[in-house]
Structure 1
């Protein structure tokens, strides 16, 4: 009799074992600080990334991002993928439990006999069947662990989509405001050149200018006018794109976009944090790490195929020759069955399956480490871009001040007849070119800030109704806790 409890103890001990490697996040060496020189308002202090666009001080942009995060169709698709991953995790968890089914059967068998004539036999049965595959060596638990990691990765992908969407909206809004600013400059330049053409016409009538001067003034005017349609197209395209990003049809947000306040200004102080922050703030790194956890769990799931599997089944019911007999106690039947199956020869299938999963695990680890390096590089690029674009803007601002002074002097001297028309037109062209470059530089500077916040992982939040997943996919008993939510 001692053998039964001994066998039970062995099975219980095996059921507490999960073969395969236990996941541990890879150690990553992170620099203590970014290499980019931090000055001109850049500091290494803590960052507030959840709603970074609010630091640009543009209410229209704030409303646009809020609308996009609430109604963007790509985000809704990402939410549906979370539902799919959660359902897959539920299905994996269900594999750990028993299955119970009920059955009801009636049959009639007719036979033909030359001695006794035709005869028939009826039988009726009803019962409940239960089966359970005991997870002796943790294959199903590893599958659940992998499904939990997949769910966490899918949620991180959703947060990554939030980061990307916020940056897209801000970048497209910046394109719109930059195009509008350049459009205003060109239209103002058209007014100036119309005045120049009118003045040249008067000078021609007075004999102080030639018809060539008038033709040159008109050519300059029409050339400037011709630059208006491309800018109008750029502005219209940006408006349409913003509406689509917000889940609306083109034109629905035109009233909101009409309330803008020009190209957003970069704040005087920008906190960039430290490199280690990217590991916790960037959803794509979280997703890559969870993909690695899932791949590690699937190695154990594959290794479990090497070991025996135990299946228990039981049934209880009634079996009678007529329906009234179903209620008879003597019709009661029951069975209990246990089956142990172990692989002996599989022609290398199990070993190859394990090797496949191990290769996938190595790929996932390489992708994770590569994602970290890419993230650090993107932050460094954005910091460098922010600094260089600020320097470019400073230089253009100085050049623009000089061009405005030169244009004012040229206009006065031309009116007094001290210089010819070509000198005036040249100073006007230089002024317009510098004004447009300065507007574009302001847009580029704000764009560098957007890229910096995107590289830092800013723009995601758990306020969209995505419930948190497990703190670690290896914890099967606590599937509801999460440590990556942020509000």
Structure 2
């Protein structure tokens, strides 16, 4: 039997050479250079230094907001998206175990009890016999050319890809929670601005009403003052709606029902402060740290392994089938040392199978896997380019929002002073009411824009941390 197996293996190698076994080698590393990664960031003025991955792991701590810290902790513990990603990791590991089992022999145990009865009509004798049988059957496909090992390697990369997708889900979740929280605090700040502005306009309206009653001003001025007052009040419902909606959004992100986080969110707070600038390193650092890029890399590798496995379908397969059994007339003698009371039988069969005609199915499957490998490479290229663009956009946003905010703060201070002076001069009769109303409208507009820009600046930093691959913890 050993000689037979050796002959089959030799035949298999000869057939493989005839089919071009040496042509199976592929160029798996060529795709890595398909994207031109720049040596430095265009939008960063930093020189030297490496990416601060330690600070990126829990970047939200840099904002110094305990409420934000608690929200992200709740989200990471209870988010359905995170739980789904973890479940997919377990599923992928199970699928790899199934693939691994295919490399090992399959052994099956069998037990049988056969009862026979025979009636002799001529003699009237009745004979009965009972036979017991125990056997072990083995079947094994020898992975002679590594096709199954290629599939196992692909499954291993699938596992790593699902793990990277889990990390990417963490990055997305932490960013979404931070963005929603900043929107919530910004809406609260805007509501405070509107209410203060309403109080100022209410005082102006009262002054105008007194002057109208005293005959100093007419009804037109009073109605103009009332109109601007009500316009300011009209902004309150929209801001309250935004506050309510972001509360619900944060609850959903944390895996809880709307209203469950109201007590936490009702704590006093403001828009988180801008953190100290983090070392962004070079583009290659960010790409290595981003889970989505790493997942794309593993996707390409898995596709190439499956492509090789499809090519190996052309080569012969060797199957070993064996059986070892015990047979006895009585159950009590099946394990008896008396040879006469039992029968021991064994067999081993080796077979060689070579595809000859399959209607082009193998060739078609190879082409399919080739295209899937190309698609994986294209997906990798798209992911890398998007990652580079996201970092550059975030760097520009952090710089430009800072410049804009500096200008708006100056404009806000000037608008507040102008509004106060106009109100004082109006009370003294030195300017008309329209001048006061114009300065109040300007003050409200500039102050709202300043609040929005403060929120935009913090959001730009959140986006920078996300684009650098921050916010994930290993399994």
- Residues 111 and 404 (structure 1 numbering): CA distance in 2 closer, same or farther, change over 3 Å? same
Instruction: Determine which of 344, 353, 360 is the counterpart of 1:332.
Output: 344
Question: Which of 351, 354, 378 matches 1:342?
Answer: 354
Q: Provide the secondary structure at the position in 2 that maps to 1:366.
A: helix
Distance 2:13 2:402 in 1: 66
Aligned equivalents of 2:27, 2:135: Cα separation in 1: 42
Residue in 1 aligned with 2:472?
A: 460
Q: Displacement, 1:203?
A: 1.2
Which residue pairs with 1:84 in the alignment?
91
* Secondary structure at 2:57 match in 1: coil
Q: Show the counterpart of 2:73.
A: 66
- What is the correspondence of 1:141-152 to structure 2 with a 5 Å cutoff? 141-152=149-160
Asked if 2 retains the 8 angstrom alpha-carbon contact of 1:60 and 1:260, the reply is no
1:56-109 Cα offsets, whole Å, 9 max, x none, are 121211121122112211100100000000111111111111111111112345
Tell me the equivalent position of 2:431.
419
1:387-411 deviation line (CA, Å, top 9, x unaligned): 2222222222222122112101101
> What displacement does 1:442 show?
0.7
Correspondences of 1:102-113 after superposition (within 5 Å):
102-108=109-115
**C-alpha distance 260-155 of structure 1, shift in aligned 2 (>3 A):** farther
Report the counterpart of residue 176 of structure 2 in structure 1.
168
Task: Specify whether residues 405 and 446 from structure 1 end up closer, same or farther in structure 2 by C-alpha distance, changes over 3 A only.
Answer: same
3-state SS of 1:170 partner:
helix
> What secondary structure sits across from 1:272 in the alignment?
coil
Aligned-partner Cα distance in 2 for 1:431–1:196: 14
Which string of whole-angstrom CA distances, capped at 9 and with x for unpartnered residues, describes residues 355-386 of structure 1? 11111111111211221111111111111222
Equivalent in the alignment of 1:46 = 51
* Equivalent in the alignment of 2:387: 375
Deviation at 1:44, TM superposition (A): 6.1
Q: Deviations over 1:116-145 (max 9, x none)?
A: 778776443211112221111111101110
| Cα shift at 1:258 | 2.6
Q: How does 1:354-433 map to 2 (within 5 A)?
A: 354-433=366-445
**Does 2:142 correspond to 1:134?**
yes
- The reply to whether residue 32 of structure 1 matches residue 39 of structure 2 is yes
Q: 8 Å contact 2:8–2:318 — kept in the other structure?
A: no
> SS in structure 1 opposite 2:107?
strand
Q: Which moved more, 1:329-338 or 1:280-289?
A: 329-338
- Partner of 2:319, secondary structure, is strand
**Worse overlay, 131-140 or 394-403:** 394-403
Q: Secondary structure at the match of 1:335?
A: strand
Name 1:317's counterpart in structure 2: 325
What is the TM-score of this pair, normalised by structure 2?
Answer: 0.90
Residue 96 in 1 paired to residue 103 in 2? yes
Task: Give, in whole Å, the separation in 2 of the partners of 1:289 and 1:395.
Answer: 44
Displacement, 1:211? 2.1
Residue 299 of structure 1 pairs with residue 311 of structure 2: no
> In 2, distance between residues paired with 1:378 and 1:124?
72
CA contact (8 A) 2:5 2:350 kept: no
1: distance between equivalents of 2:12 and 2:368? 30
Q: Which runs of 5+ in 2 are unaligned?
A: none
Q: Which of 445, 455, 458 is 1:446 aligned to?
A: 458
CA RMSD of aligned residues (A): 2.7
Aligned to 1:470: none
CA contact (8 A) 2:62 2:276 kept: no
Counterpart for residue 476 of structure 1: none
**Whole-angstrom distance in 2 between the partners of 1:257 and 1:129:** 65
Cα deviation 1:171-211 (Å, max 9, x = unaligned):
00010011000000001111111111111121122221122
Contact kept, 8 Å, 1:185 with 1:435, in 2: the verdict is: yes
Answer whether contact 2:95 2:155 (CA < 8 A) is retained.
yes
Flag the 1:217–1:43 CA change in 2: closer, same or farther, 3 A: farther
Q: In 2, distance between residues paired with 1:135 and 1:116?
A: 60
Q: Distance in 2 between matches of 1:353 and 1:114?
A: 64
Q: What SS is found at the alignment partner of 1:311?
A: strand
Change (3 A) 1:347 1:115: farther
Question: In structure 2, how many angstroms separate the alpha carbons of the residues matched to 1:318 and 1:184?
Answer: 89
SS at 2:42 equivalent = coil
* Cα shift readout 1:299-324 (whole Å, capped 9, x = no counterpart): 12112211111111222122245545
Q: Residues 93, 11 of structure 1: CA spacing in aligned structure 2 closer, same or farther, 3 A cutoff?
A: farther
Relative to total residues, which structure has the larger helix share, 1 or 2? 2
Q: Distance in 2 between matches of 1:110 and 1:5?
A: 43
Distance 1:260 1:458, change over 3 A: farther
1: CA distance between counterparts of 2:216 and 2:318? 108
The answer for unaligned runs of 5 or more in structure 1 is 467-487
Aligned-pair distance for 1:418?
1.3
Query: How many aligned positions are there?
Result: 460
Which residue is equivalent to 2:289?
281
